[in-house]
Amino acid sequence: MKKESNTHCKNINCTQKGGDEVCLCPVDNVINVISKKWALLIIATIGNNEKIRYNEIMENLVDISPKTLADRLKELENFGLIKRETFGEIPLRVEYSLTQDGIELRDSMIPLMEWASKKKNLN
């Protein structure tokens, strides 16, 4: 396997050539967002629906607190993985969907989800 390099990376291990190491610097920000509890499950839940409302996400993720869901949704939106669409209705209606980056991330998660479903003994 070829080592990936990143010329703007400050980590000396990422700029050296050879070996089997892969530089993680390009995904550092992504990891900071998706490694938070519930983030990947929220992305998967939104991705399983074309558009979904807050309460529907709460129903799908039964153990998540309202504050945690609101925080994660805001973080994922700020990172550009989800889109929040507000409708000027009474009562106010808000729907969430994946952006193109969110769709690509979800698609890349599918092999991991398939692998995890085979490894039920990891739970």
Domain boundaries, the chain: 1-26, 36-122
Q: What is the pLDDT of residues 105-121, one digit of tens each?
A: 999 999 988 888 888 76
Q: What is the pLDDT of residues 23-60, one digit of tens each?
A: 777 778 888 888 999 999 999 999 999 999 999 999 99
How far apart CA 79 and CA 57 sit, in angstroms, is: 19
Split at pLDDT 50, 70, 90, the class of 1 is: very low
pLDDT at 11: 63
CATH class of the domain whose range is 36-122: mainly alpha
- Contacts of residues 26-35 at CB distance under 8 Å and 24 or more positions apart, as own/partner, are 29/79, 30/79, 30/105, 33/75, 33/76, 33/79, 33/81, 34/105
